[in-house]
Amino acid sequence: MKHFLKNYGITFLVATVVFVSFAAVRGLFTATDAVTVYYSLSDGGILAGVLSLAIGSLIFVSEKGIFDPISYSFNRIAAQFVPGVGLLQPKQDYYDYISNRHTKHIKVAHFIYVGLFYMVIAIIFAVLYVNVSA
């Protein structure tokens, strides 16, 4: 339960800071009409939601091994050009690199759920914006 609250709390806090900051830049605190308030809240929700979903998606696909060939190649090239860099053991092949790299799994559900929460908020305020401005 401690890790659950920590993961979701930090993710929600950062997304809330992004949400409020971007909404403030769009004129949330200086707005005099409902249209501007809904517009700025919708934009802030979209940004916070998309950023959280994008971070969660990138971590998820990285965990599945999509970027492993690029990382392995870069480390091997760097070891060739920079002597003594020690990024890989000299006898380590690709299979050993993959098996050592994927020993610890990273949870990404908190990024996805927080992103979806802010996307729903953005959709609600976008619908309100369209209904008020029409």
Per-residue pLDDT at 19:
96
**Distances 114 to 7, 27, 63, 120 between C-alpha atoms, Å:** 10, 24, 19, 10
CA–CA dist 60, 62 (Å, integer):
5
The larger pLDDT score, comparing residue 102 to residue 24, is at: 24
Per-residue pLDDT at 134:
62
Per-residue pLDDT at 90:
60
- Residue 19: Cβ-neighbour burial (10 angstroms; 0-12, 13-18, 19+): buried
Instruction: For 25-48, write each residue's pLDDT tens digit.
Output: 998 898 889 899 999 999 999 999
Per-residue pLDDT at 12:
95
Instruction: Name residues whose C-beta falls within 8 Å of residue 69's C-beta, 6 or more positions apart in sequence.
Output: 94
What does the chain come to in residues? 134
CA–CA dist 123, 104 (Å, integer):
36
DSSP per-residue codes, 61-102: HHHTTTTHHHHHHHHHHHHHHSTT--SS-TT--HHHHHHHHT
Q: Are the C-beta atoms of 38 and 129 separated by less than 8 Å?
A: yes
Per-residue pLDDT at 85:
64
Domain ranges of the chain: 2-65+108-133, 67-101
Per-residue pLDDT at 129:
93
Instruction: For 45-70, write each residue's pLDDT tens digit.
Output: 999 999 999 999 999 999 888 988 89
**Rounded mean pLDDT of 2-9?**
86
Per-residue pLDDT at 100:
80
Per-residue pLDDT at 92:
75
Token pair for residue 111?
Answer: 């990024």
Instruction: For 77-133, write each residue's pLDDT tens digit.
Output: 777 777 666 555 566 788 888 888 877 888 889 999 999 999 999 999 999 999 987
- Residue 82: Cβ-neighbour burial (10 angstroms; 0-12, 13-18, 19+): exposed
Per-residue pLDDT at 120:
96
